[in-house]
Structure 1
Amino acid sequence: MYSPCIRETSEACFQGCCLASLPGFPDPHGTDPKYLSSADVFRYNFALTTVSSLFPNTQFTNHESLPPLDESFSSFNKAYPQYSNTNQADQIRAQEYYHLSMSNHVCLDYIGHGLFSYSQLQSHHMTAPVPSSSSSSAPSLNFSPLELPFFEISYKSVNLNSQILYGGEESELESKIRKRIMDFMNISEADYSMVFTANQSSAFKLLADFYPFQSNRNLLTVYDYENEAVGAMIRASKKRSARVLSAEFSWPNLRIHSAKLKKIILNKRKKRRGLFVFPLQSRMTGARYSYLWMSMAQENGWHVLLDACALGPKDMETLGLSLFRPDFLICSFFKVFGKNPSGFGCLFVKKSSASILKDSTTAASVGIVSLLPATRRSQFPDESATTDIETEQTSKLKLHKDELAAASSSSGPLPVQKISNETLESYEISDVNFKQKGSSSSEIVELEMPLDIPQSLNKDTSVNGYSQIECRGLDHADSLGLILISLRARFLINWLVNALMSLRHPHSENGLPLVRIYGPNVAFDRGPAVAFNVFDWKGEKVEPTLVQKLADRSNISLSHGFLQHIWFSDKYEEEKEKILELRTIGVEGTLGNKKRDKSSSGISVVSAALGLLTNFEDVYNLWAFVSRFLDADFVEKERWRYVALNQKTVEV
């Protein structure tokens, strides 16, 4: 299937905002420019430009032979002169996310959208000023880590159906953040309802629990990698008699096997199709897919869920997506890029499709959350040490409860002067039972407290008051805009792919490549993520988890994942056995609580994802790190280095 974006979308979209991955050049004569359309010539020239960005026809066989950063950046700028037009992103990074440069931290494992900036995080806990655009240095990072910044989440005992159909009480904090997110996602409140969920997985599972799989039996997904959130949906849907289907991806480019997917979507034997779960791009490989798959599914009786978690900032503003409206949409947000990955998920339900959802008899609405004002943990006493002061505060709070309840139910707000600071403090400390849920990194908490806090309490005008909340992370994406963000990501990801492919093992007869890229190689329309593996001089794969650990020691954060649903034609049948890995996983048995082993085939990979704050130095540092594997003794040297440092555990 060829993308219609070139002929149907605006000039902004033509610049690569929503172009789908094409299955090669359409002309049978090859890549000779004289046989190509103007659009294909543009792409062809872009590929040539990318090659020229890194010393044409150069292969690097020694990590010490890599050109230095400044020389590489100069060549990069010559190849992509438009990159200089994106320097506003560098200014935002320097002013608002200066921790990345000061700590030399390369963050290539974040997928999603950051709500706030690091500068905002610091303003709550540092007296030093945020550096201005003219400042040459940022404030010191010697500070206590911020706990629960900006907001907390608590689980909410409500029914998803009633929440979607009739809504519910929401605080000023929730209202402001919901409206800001819907504006950022280019979604109309008149068309969609939205609920906050604990995370991305919760949103997927919630929808699976309330979608009518008994009548619309099929669940069709389009993922070239193992996705934890989609896995939660699949497990929940199977319990409700769903028939799970998946698209397949053709080796070696991992494009959608169009004929097979089309056959499933158009199957005329089933009048009631089911739920079609679709991402516009792979967050693992960077492969992009046409949004017309969603249109085709909807026209043939499928309900459509758009997974927007892997979309880049402002991608929802592409012309195609602005015209297409799926039945459901899921996205996720984290707090601060490079510092705090906790956050929440969002489930959007189109109001005209809300009646599709049915009450579940097997599952409660677990996963819906409320947003609460942030409170530092230091304000909470140890649970095992209840003090006389706490008892006194509890007694004082009880004296005010009738007054608070009366204000909550009355039409007029409670006069602010009647609520003393002492009352507020006792409310925060004594009437809240703090419980940590799960791992410390999740920062998901359960707060046993009344949710009907008077609105007057919500109107806190202090710095920590959420009536003052400013989603500066979203503001930054808005200020940069779709075209600038897309251009920047395109230049950086293609340079990185080209640079990784230039690394070759020394003294090998055929120039054995150090790195193998899975999915798109250099391509005008590839997404800002790359999946790859590193191979040693004997051609054996270095375990992705090991590469990830060694990268972490070099202050580079990468992800690892498992590619799956790969289809091999007869041409690659012999290659198939060498490439695919068998993995045994435990799954629930037929009795529910028993486990059984199940084998799955695929490819474990390392993945790097670029965001709007990624700069050239980040991708260069990743290239320099990977090049160190050209040294046959690199892994062994790292092992001995940690032994020399008297590490208790040697992980490599």
Structure 2
Amino acid sequence: MGNSHSHSCIAAPGATKPRPFSRKRSAILTRIHLSCADSSESLDPPQETSKLVSDEKSVYVDHYRTTPPITSVAYCPIATDLESDGEGAFEGFLREYPEYRLTWILDTLRRTDFARLERAGETYVDYMGGSLYPESLIRVHTDFLNHSILGNTHSVSNSSKLSLKCADEARQAVLAHFRASSEYTVVFTANASAALKLIAEAYPFTGGSSLVIGADSHNSVHGIREFATYRSARTVYVPSTAHGGFDIPTAKDVLQRHRPRSRDLAPSLFVLTAQSNISNSKSPLSITHHAASLGYHTVVDGAALAPTSVVSLADYPIDAMAVSFYKMFGYPTGVGALIVKKDFLSQLKRPWFAGGTVDVVQVPGNIVTRARLPHEQFEDGTINYLQLPAITDGLRFLSAYLPFLPLRLSSLLLYLTSALSKLRHDTTGRPVVQILSKVPTRRLRSVGEPAETGSIMSLLFLSPTGEMIPNSFIEHAASSKNISLRTGCMCNPGGAAAILGIEDEMGRLYPGVTLADFQDHMGRELGVVRISLGLASNFRDVWRVVQFASSIGQEYPRQIMWNQWMESQRSTIGQAL
């Protein structure tokens, strides 16, 4: 129950424009993506490439010309590439969620930067696994590389100075995006997992220390307990609710009962998963105030939260937060960050050193003088200097659209929840799906309003008799329909166990147990089917997911897909033999 792969278990429109970019290439992003915000532009839909353009124009233009706008600012009409039988569904969706129209700028983005989705006929609903990169970001970054000479930052040549300048710009962009004060610095890492490992291996755990973790957390967080155990510290879990996350009074009670006796003699760590990658629950960052008041250091896993939420470190006593940039804007992979207070870094004791982290090393001998700047002491070897310029542009790109995402994605998620909940098998009338993750209870109405949950859905597909359909079949069938989704436990065994209701079975695991053992004991595959929405998601995506789920509820098409899956299974076994 730990692997992330398939089958594994368990500013309102018209707001002030962004400041000019410090590098000439960045201005291209502003021209490409913010042009629709000009109130002088026509309200007619942009030219579409779909064969349904002529029909959709009449439908959508008529709708927007006869429906009063929700806001006084300019807005563009929405056009979506849908099959003819989806047009009525979209009109009904807009009547039910008229506030969705306020997010028209994301439809413009979909048609420009993510047009490849329509060209490929792909429905991508795995943004929690990795966001899709905007095409303009790749073009801008490629153009910069084609006209620049970058060298290793550990030198004083012109090429090295340019690389260092770009790295410093990226650091400042990260601090600005997360509204971090001068108390913070940025350590670039391979990803959020590597950022959390930096803290795990260097935190000064002792025999009297406590590590407090939410059960509904990624394995990158659970892995910290290995270092705590090695230094004789105790690991304490805040239990998950049936829908993931945790109950705030319970969390406060756990923190109180295991509070550090002395921050100097027995430092203790509270690691908060800001948003679950499987249960869709958000944990309030405000609980860090309570933890800090008890003497804990506070660390936040922000990998799932940062892609669709505005996060301000200025509002909370957070010592460090880990993020992955590919989850935020798709490119580049292989770069993450630890946004961390400098005084917290000074308390960490690294168990080794490498190139770039030291100033003087005595050989032979034991004397080591660390690098002068705090972040340099934690960036092992050469940083990914060719990719860091894309971080600056990517963050500014995302910032332009981030205020619109909660409203847009919550509308789509509510529609998806309602539509899937109504599906019934044609032979027995039983439900086709069982939704396990947390569903929003509060509807958003305006741009910039924060969402109470994330934008994912974890569910099981059920047979006509109510039994679980294997996730591996669902993944195969979805792939055959060009739908990219995820199955498994998402590297979150605690959250998966909670929403699947198998916490007692989890408690009975024994040393050396394998996933196959666990599944044999349970008599079925473990894990869920996860649908996750993000930056480029639109109605077309959720509508096609609903259409796919509907086909699972129909005996004839389901049997065809089942036969195809079984044939692929036999083929795989034959190749292995």
Q: Tell me if both proteins adopt one fold, taking TM over 0.5 as the criterion.
A: yes
* Residue of structure 2 equivalent to 1:503: 423
State yes or no: 1:349 paired with 2:343: no
* Residue of structure 1 equivalent to 2:305: 311
- Contact 1:213–1:240, Cα closer than 8 Å, also in 2: yes
- Contact 1:115–1:471, Cα closer than 8 Å, also in 2: no
Write the mapping of 1:182-197 to structure 2, written as runs, cut at 5 A: 182-188=175-181, 190-197=182-189
Separation of aligned partners in 2, 1:73 and 1:489: 15
Summarize deviations over 1:270-293 as a string: whole Å, max 9, x none: 514611111222122211222222
Q: Percent same amino acid among aligned pairs?
A: 24
How far did 1:567 drift?
12
State yes or no: 1:274 paired with 2:274: no
- Contact 2:289–2:316, Cα closer than 8 Å, also in 1: yes
State yes or no: 1:520 paired with 2:438: yes
* Residue of structure 2 equivalent to 1:391: none
- Contact 2:308–2:534, Cα closer than 8 Å, also in 1: no
- Contact 1:255–1:519, Cα closer than 8 Å, also in 2: no
Separation of aligned partners in 2, 1:616 and 1:497: 13
How far did 1:299 drift?
0.8
For residue 494 of structure 1, the aligned residue among 411, 414, 417 is 414
SS in 1 for 2:236: strand
How far did 1:196 drift?
1.1
* Residue of structure 1 equivalent to 2:477: 550
* Residue of structure 2 equivalent to 1:82: 99
State yes or no: 1:612 paired with 2:535: yes
- Contact 1:309–1:331, Cα closer than 8 Å, also in 2: yes
Summarize deviations over 1:240-294 as a string: whole Å, max 9, x none: 333222221222x335134432221111675146111112221222112222221
Matched to 2:169, the amino acid is K
* Residue of structure 1 equivalent to 2:88: 71
* Residue of structure 1 equivalent to 2:126: 109
Q: Mark the CA change 1:242 to 1:301 in structure 2 (over 3 Å): closer, same or farther.
A: same
Summarize deviations over 1:549-606 as a string: whole Å, max 9, x none: 322232222223436547999xx9xx957x97659989789xxxxxxx9999996111
SS in 1 for 2:223: helix
Matched to 2:412, the amino acid is L
Separation of aligned partners in 2, 1:543 and 1:286: 22
- Contact 1:198–1:368, Cα closer than 8 Å, also in 2: no
For residue 292 of structure 2, the aligned residue among 295, 298, 301 is 298
Separation of aligned partners in 2, 1:452 and 1:224: 32
* Residue of structure 2 equivalent to 1:334: 326
Separation of aligned partners in 2, 1:230 and 1:192: 21
* Residue of structure 2 equivalent to 1:159: none
Q: Mark the CA change 1:644 to 1:249 in structure 2 (over 3 Å): closer, same or farther.
A: closer
* Residue of structure 2 equivalent to 1:479: 400
Report the structure number with the largest CA radius of gyration.
Answer: 1
State yes or no: 1:649 paired with 2:575: no
For residue 560 of structure 1, the aligned residue among 487, 494, 500 is 487
Separation of aligned partners in 2, 1:550 and 1:621: 13
Matched to 1:183, the amino acid is A
For residue 112 of structure 2, the aligned residue among 95, 107, 118 is 95
Matched to 1:307, the amino acid is D
- Contact 2:424–2:432, Cα closer than 8 Å, also in 1: yes
Q: Mark the CA change 1:106 to 1:198 in structure 2 (over 3 Å): closer, same or farther.
A: same
State yes or no: 1:265 paired with 2:255: yes
Summarize deviations over 1:439-481 as a string: whole Å, max 9, x none: xxxxxxxxx9x9699xxxx9xxxxxx88975854433322224
Structure 2's unaligned 5+ residue stretches are 1-10, 14-82, 155-160, 358-379, 443-451
SS in 1 for 2:205: coil
Structure 1's unaligned 5+ residue stretches are 1-9, 13-65, 127-146, 157-167, 370-447, 459-464, 590-596
- Contact 2:188–2:338, Cα closer than 8 Å, also in 1: yes
Separation of aligned partners in 2, 1:210 and 1:650: 45
Write the mapping of 1:57-456 to structure 2, written as runs, cut at 5 A: 68-111=85-128, 117-121=134-138, 171-188=164-181, 190-214=182-206, 217-224=209-216, 227-251=218-242, 253-267=243-257, 270-272=260-262, 274-313=268-307, 315-317=309-311, 321-334=313-326, 342-360=333-351, 364=352
Separation of aligned partners in 2, 1:531 and 1:116: 24
Separation of aligned partners in 2, 1:169 and 1:102: 38
Separation of aligned partners in 2, 1:261 and 1:336: 28
SS in 2 for 1:309: coil
Summarize deviations over 1:301-344 as a string: whole Å, max 9, x none: 111001111114463446xx541130111111128967x67231
Larger strand fraction of residues: 1
How far did 1:526 drift?
2.6
Summarize deviations over 1:206-240 as a string: whole Å, max 9, x none: 21000011256222112425x23224323333333
